[in-house]
Amino acid sequence: MGFIVGTADPARYRRSLLRAAPLLLSRLTRPDTRRSLRYLIRAARWPGPHASDTLYPAHLHLNVQQSARGLGAGETLLRAHLALLRDARVPGVQLSTTTENVAALGLYRKLGFRVAGERQTPLWEPWLGHPARHVVMTLALR
């Protein structure tokens, strides 16, 4: 019904993305692959604001299936993931979202994340139909 993925090592994350490139290119006939690739190319062209990798090295992304939203799954996933990061003595975590994503902003704020920077971006324009504000949020874990 949902997933959370993350890393405590930004350099490793970038290497993983690069390693995924050949796989994506080999599946270009699939519409979902083309959508993912389009997003990645746009994200590279319009990078979001970024917090310090030293203070907040961990990054994460989570998604809950539409029919299961609002039932506490996102919060449970995120709390479990943050506990793992704390156990691993990771100093902090950062993530990106948009001011349009009211649910994500609500969840992150509830768990203590604060906005560390924001920037107007055309990144999501094909999906939203208008520019949005790209937000980076941070949470210190110790």
Ligand X SMILES: CC(C)(COP(=O)(O)OP(=O)(O)OC[C@H]1O[C@@H](n2cnc3c(N)ncnc32)[C@H](O)[C@@H]1OP(=O)(O)O)[C@@H](O)C(=O)NCCC(=O)NCCS
Strand, coil or helix: 55: coil
User: Around 83, how many Cα atoms within 13 Å sit in the side-chain half-sphere?
Assistant: 6
Binding residue (CB under 6 A) for ligand X from 36, 49, 101, 133? 101
Residue 128 interacts with ligand X (CB under 6 A): yes or no: no
For residues 75 and 90, what is the distance between their CA atoms, to the nearest angstrom? 20
Binding residue (CB under 6 A) for ligand X from 97, 113, 123, 141? 97
DSSP classification of residue 115: E
* Site pattern 56..95 for ligand X (x: CB under 6 A): ------xxx----xxxxxxx--------------------
Query: Integer distance in angstroms from the first to the last C-alpha of the chain?
Result: 30
Interface region with ligand X, contact rule CB under 6 A, candidates 13-21, 81-89, 106-114, 119-127: 106-114
Binding residue (CB under 6 A) for ligand X from 45, 88, 106, 127? 106
Binding residue (CB under 6 A) for ligand X from 103, 112, 120, 127? 103
Q: Kindly tell me which of 25 and 79 has the beta carbon lying closer to ligand X.
A: 79
Residue pair 48/96 in contact (Cβ under 8 Å)? The answer is: yes
Other CB atoms within a 10 A radius of the CB of residue 100 amount to: 14
Q: Kindly tell me which of 33 and 63 has the beta carbon lying closer to ligand X.
A: 63
Question: What separation in angstroms does the CA of 30 have from each of 16, 35, 43?
Answer: 21, 9, 20
What residue ranges bind ligand X (CB under 6 A)? 62-64, 69-75, 97, 101-104, 106-107, 110
